[in-house]
Chains A and B, each alone.
Chain A
Amino acid sequence: MQHEQTLIFEVSREGRTGYNLPTPTVPEVDLEKLLPQSMIRKEAAELPEVSELDVVRHYTALSTRNHGVDSGFYPLGSCTMKYNPKVNEDMARLPGFAHIHPLQPVETVQGALELMVDLQEQLAEITGMDEVTLQPAAGAHGEWTGLMLIKAFHERNGDQSRTKVLVPDSAHGTNPASAVVAGFETVTVKSDERGLVDLDDLKSKVGDDTAALMLTNPNTLGLFEADILEIAQVVHEAGGKLYYDGANSNAILGIARPGDMGFDVVHLNLHKTFTGPHGGGGPGSGPVGVKRDLMPFLPTPIATRTEEGFTLDYDRPHSIGRIKPFYGNFGINVRAYSYIKTMGAEGLTRVSREAVLNANYMFARLKDAFDVPYDTYCKHEFVLSGKRQKALGVRTLDIAKRLLDFGYHPPTIYFPLNVEECIMVEPTETESKETLDAFCDAMLQIAKEAEENPEIVQTAPHTTVVKRMDETLAARKPVLKYERPEPSSVNS
């Protein structure tokens, strides 16, 4: 096995350090006098021994082996990989935000609480809901929180029999998973030939055991659920609640609000729509907004405005309880707040309009070269199918890998599950027409290659630091941590 990039453990040499502790000011006391021998670890944790420059070289080298939005276009569908403003990073690092402890007396954190209250109100306005909690750590955490609220609501009404959550077949995987973890059974609702919720199927499945319908709107195909008002009516008449998965909210800012559509609970992904960076997989933030009848059940505490200033409200006797220590991912919320203030009402509305225009433009440029399961105007994202290329021996996975050679992060692939060889593209509004054009040119070239020279696509990528990885080996013989070589093999 070749090791092109060393692990930090392989750089380690005994006797080096990358940090010096502060000058001691309290007397040094022998450890043995402070802890009984039985409590002291026998074997040191084998962390690396490296100099500060070793640390810098190592992580700099790793960063060059990673593609972020700053590196290039990242049209990963349903993930909203928009530009992450630099000033937001600075704002989150202001000492008055970064270095405050969650249990300080409230009078010492008035600015933080004010920001939280402002953000709650802004998000309530954006979604058309009555109250917002900032506690959930991420989208999936928000989904689960929302479902727990719905559960508490039904239980409070003595409606114990509402055990089922309806989920469309195009839903994000977290939807059914969150429903099950919240203690529900899921029932799948079919999509119709338009790619939208099949109203007849919904009507046949909704009933007095329905707790809620979870819906993403626009859905994961990038299509607006045009029957949303009727869907809401059907679910509400059956006594169920309507849950809005906010993963695709980048399409609707200032255009349509979930609250007006009839949704009772909403979660937002602040790391998607509101630019809290994705961080390589987190931290995110997944605030949840609710209509009035669900407010009593929100997790405590909630930041509130009073006449004496800002405070934390714990007085919710019917609350589902805490879902996270302290008050959520405040640092991400600061970034989102900073973004909303920067854009203002007009900017946010333009965000969605331009995201929609960008997606439709790319769709128009690509739809002749690929199969299109739903040939209609999309919202902020759209899906193609690689069926035609598959017939030529080029799979969607190959197309994705070939895009790497052009310097792009590929779109989301093989999702949603109801589209064969699916390619799901979300350009976002922060990309220029030139970038969209260059990407479309690359896609068209790959489509042509699939016809004329499929091998170059099938064997892609050709330019990355590693080629396709053996994922079967990784799963069959899991190596999940670094094992130090035996001393003998070090010498050899």
Chain B
Amino acid sequence: MNRMEFRYLPMTEQDEKDMLQTIGVESIEGLLEDIPESLREKASLAAIGAPLPEVDLVRHMTKLAEKNIHTKSYPSFLGAGMYDHLSPSVMNHMLLRSEFYTAYTPYQPEISQGELQAMFEFQTMICELTGMDVANSSMYDGITALAEATYLASAHTKKKRVIVSGAVHPEAKDVIRTYADGPGLSVEYTDVTDGLTDVADLDLTDASCLVVQYPNFFGRVEDLATLAEKAHDVGALFVVSSNPLALGVLESPGALGADITVGDAQPFGIPQSFGGPSCGYFAVKKSLMRKIPGRLVGQTVDEEGKRGFVLTLQAREQHIRRDKATSNICSNQALNALAASITMSALGKHGIRDMAIRNIQTAHYMKEAMKSAGFSIVDEGPMFNEFVVDLQIDADQVSRDLLKHGMIGGLPLGTYEADRQTQMLICATELRTKEEIDRFVDVVGGMK
């Protein structure tokens, strides 16, 4: 056995000898005697294979990676909860400051002020965008954050009836349903009329919350103020899941009556990474501050009066409350919250608005181009960077044909809803150029 085959393991033969001697045991086996022999005999790792030196590893990984078609070489029109946006170079450079990514949860504030302050700034930025009073320092992703919001609303209102807009992301519906099984919540969905949440036929009495997405799954901007009023009329909390980039230009959920706003900060430069990790956020009105799940960073002073930051209001959390906890979340997505903060700082107050507007303009141009090519838009109306087009032929087939032309098409909606087989949810972000869009319209126009 050659010890030097393992560069992450510094123990030399001499070290091993010296350490065993200090312990007073003959061999490492002597330290494992409390493990039943029968277990030790079975613990083979044969299927794992031989170790790979770095060059071999990189070769192997590159080969795997190259089997995938990625959005750096194929222009992508896919959105639906995960977006192809710009990512400032400065973001990745700062993210690789390894004091951040090799640290853990800042339990020792004296040597974690960097992380704590970055989280405090993230909380501030999320509050600014959402118009909410308090934001936590992140959740796993926007959709599990939404599911946690239904927990908070149900615990707060002591009601178990969750009403979810039919126009939220289908995977959010699935996750909310799975989560509901724990505390025994009932979940109902609203109608969708003209691409928007429709509660006209729904008796909201006894609802703990009304959950909507903004912009919704079909790209449309919901009338939050009216929906908030309907929820509040029956004492339900109004829960909004929002793309934070859209909030660079859209009126904030806080200003329109949201009690809880959640979402995913992935649009702020976080790579799509096949769907994760992204970065959920969770923000509430002040009255719900002590019920918010996850970690909160607060400002305080040290013994000498210097400003500093600590994890605070921890009495809410699982490690204190244990079986009294209403959420079991422990780790979050701190590093991605940092990534989002860096991107938001680089873009700045005007940049974020300009980027949001650029998304609307680009999607608008594409929508008009599709219309000019003879396609009809499904439930047309105010939107952010996504819209639904009826291709009149099987959208899944179109998506596969587009690959032959070097493009990743939008989402065939038949994936989630059988009666939408010919519809495609198209996303055009600030990264899509006129040339790419024109080519898309050309190619798809030729398939009709």
Contacts and interface: CB of A to CB of B under 8 A. Distances in A.
A240 interface: no
Can you list the 6 inter-chain pairs with the closest CB atoms, starting with the nearest? A326-B275, A96-B65, A111-B67, A102-B275, A344-B51, A279-B335
A345 interface: yes
B312 A429 contact: no
A69 B103 contact: yes
A34 B362 CA distance: 11
A27 B89 CA distance: 27
Contacts of B67: 96, 110-111, 114
B299 interface: yes
Given A34-B382, A345-B48, A67 B331 contact: no
Contacts of A25: 433-435
A430 B9 CA distance: 5
Contact of B338 (A176, A179, A280, A364): A280
B423 interface: no
Interface in B135-164: 135, 137-138, 140-144, 151
B345 A58 contact: yes
Contact of B96 (A43, A89, A478): A89
B169 A377 contact: no
Given A41-B255, A174-B318, A283-B140, A344 B52 contact: yes
B125 interface: yes
B123 A480 contact: yes
B408 A108 contact: yes
A482 to B, nearest CB: 4
Contact of A45 (B18, B115, B247, B331): B247
Interface stretch (B196-204, B351-359, B372-380, B439-447): B351-359
Interface stretch (B32-40, B205-213, B229-237): B32-40
B113 to A, nearest CB: 4
Given A55-B90, A141-B140, A322-B171, A183 B51 contact: no
Given A325-B81, A345-B46, A360-B25, 18 more contacts: A4-B306, A40-B249, A63-B99, A68-B100, A97-B65, A102-B272, A179-B323, A228-B36, A260-B42, A282-B336, A327-B275, A351-B9, A377-B23, A400-B108, A404-B108, A430-B10, A473-B301, A475-B315
B165 interface: no
A354 B10 CA distance: 10
B9 A98 contact: no
Contacts of A254: 43-45
A213 interface: no
Given A60-B94, A255-B32, A433-B19, A475 B249 contact: no
B50 to A, nearest CB: 5
Interface string A21-38: 110111111010011101
B389 interface: no
Nearest to A341: B52
A156 B185 CA distance: 19
Contacts, number: 717
Given A55-B94, A95-B73, A299 B178 contact: yes
A410 B108 contact: yes
A469 B18 contact: no
A392 interface: no
B175 A256 contact: no
A151 B183 CA distance: 12
B6 to A, nearest CB: 5
Given A26-B365, A465-B113, A47 B51 contact: no
A424 B129 CA distance: 41
B313 A475 contact: yes
B82 interface: yes
B422 interface: no
A490 interface: no
Given A49-B349, A260-B43, A341 B335 contact: no
B175 A323 contact: yes
28 contacts: A18-B88, A48-B345, A65-B117, A68-B98, A68-B100, A76-B107, A94-B61, A99-B72, A108-B408, A111-B63, A141-B144, A180-B328, A181-B327, A226-B34, A260-B39, A281-B137, A322-B178, A325-B143, A325-B275, A342-B52, A360-B31, A364-B22, A429-B8, A430-B8, A469-B308, A470-B303, A471-B310, A471-B312
Interface in A295-336: 299, 320-332, 334
A357 B313 CA distance: 39
A16 B9 CA distance: 47
A93 to B, nearest CB: 8
Contacts of B63: 111
A172 B433 CA distance: 51
B51 A7 contact: no
A74 B277 CA distance: 25
B335 A46 contact: no
A122 B49 CA distance: 10
Contacts of B90: 18-19, 52, 55-56
A129 interface: no
A346 B3 CA distance: 10
A112 B69 CA distance: 10
Nearest to B104: A278
A229 B302 contact: no
A101 B300 contact: no
Interface stretch (A77-85, A204-212, A444-452): A77-85
